[in-house]
């Protein structure tokens, strides 16, 4: 969860509900997001594939995806 929408490399995240500039398999998979829907996930950093670090597809045509530097919760 959270509202971070920029990768560690400084690229703005692509909306999960869109397939441009990068086509992917999550644009119609509401079950992959804790937000309840792909639309609610907006362009926020998420981990729909269960990766240990949140990531997103970027809105830059030459950079497909990137990890996001989301701070860990206290006590973890």
pTM of the model: 0.89
**Count of the separate structural domains present in the chain:** 1
Q: Indicate whether 75 belongs to any domain.
A: no
- Please tell me the predicted confidence (pLDDT) of residue 1: 79
Q: Please report, for residues 57, 60, the alpha-carbon distance to residue 4 in angstroms, rounded to integers and kept in the order given.
A: 13, 17
Domain that holds residue 40: 1-70
Mean pLDDT on 11-34: 95
DSSP 8-state secondary structure symbol assigned to residue 42: T
Q: Indicate whether 76 belongs to any domain.
A: no
Over residues 26-73, the pLDDT tens digits come to 999 999 999 999 999 999 999 999 999 999 999 999 999 999 998 777
Q: Indicate whether 36 belongs to any domain.
A: yes
Q: Indicate whether 29 belongs to any domain.
A: yes
pLDDT band at 75 (very low <50, low <70, confident <90, very high): low
CATH number, domain of 53, equals 2.40.20.10
């Amino acid at each position: 969860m959270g509202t971070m929408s920029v990768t560690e490399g400084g690229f703005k995240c692509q909306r999960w509900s869109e397939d441009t500039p990068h086509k992917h398999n999550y644009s119609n998979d509401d079950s992959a997001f804790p937000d309840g829907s792909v639309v609610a996930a907006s362009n926020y950093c998420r981990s729909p594939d269960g990766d240990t670090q949140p990531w997103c597809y970027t809105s830059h045509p030459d950079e497909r995806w990137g990890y996001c530097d989301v701070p860990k919760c206290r006590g973890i």
